[in-house]
Amino acid sequence: MVEILEGSPDVVETLDALILQPQSAAPELRRWIYRKHWHIEDESLVLDDGRIYEIIMAKRGRRKMPEQLMLEIGPVLWQKKPPLLRHHIEALLFQERRVAAGMEKSDAAKKSKKYQVVIRHIKELGEHLSW
């Protein structure tokens, strides 16, 4: 999605709002939004056929970049805490646990800094399951 937006700067310049539904890489899209002097005005989660979809509405205007974990969860989603938020965070946790499980098959990987980052990330996401 970032590539599409970057590939059409003349079109993006004419817009006052963006309604985006990333299929993947939502944290990178959220980061792009803030770097390009937009901000996330609203976010929603939709469940369709067992899959959660994120919908992001961005508007022009510079705001402070959210911390990395909020770029992953969705800063407005975290504020609003919609019913599907727990399912969304659990899906993020599932992905990270799969990465950790793969790394745990290798002693070298388990000793790596990347493994420690993944384990820390799992802990942080888990802490956001309760509110």
Task: Report the number of distinct structural domains present in the chain.
Answer: 2
On the question of pLDDT at 130 being above 90, the answer is no
User: 77 lies in a domain?
Assistant: no
pLDDT at 42 over 90: yes
Residue range(s) defining the domain that contains residue 90: 83-131
pLDDT computed for residue 131 by the predictor: 81
One domain for residues 52 and 110: no
The whole-angstrom distance between residue 16's C-alpha and the CA centroid of its chain comes to: 22
Looking at residue 65, its amino acid is M
The Cα–Cα gap between 116 and 119 comes to: 5
Instruction: List the structure tokens of 99.
Output: 């990465």
The H-or-E segment that residue 52 falls in is strand 51-60
Nearest in space to 61 (alpha carbons), one of 2, 27, 18, 26: 18
Do both 118 and 57 map to the same domain?
Answer: no
pLDDT (tens digit per residue) in 44-55:
999 999 899 999
Tokens of 25: 């890489």
pLDDT number for residue 125:
96
39 Cβ partners below 8 Å, 6+ apart? 33, 58, 59, 61, 62, 63
Largest Cα span, the chain: 52
| Same domain (yes/no): 13, 50 | yes
pLDDT digits (tens, 9 = 90+) for 58-113: 999 999 999 999 999 999 999 999 999 999 999 999 999 999 999 999 999 999 99
Residues 45, 12 share a domain = yes
User: Can you give the pTM of this predicted structure?
Assistant: 0.88
Q: Which of 66, 91, 109 is the last residue of a domain?
A: 66
Asked if residue 76 is part of any domain, the answer here is no
What is the structure's pLDDT at 109? 92
pLDDT of residue 112: 95
Model confidence at 123, pLDDT cuts 50, 70, 90, reads very high
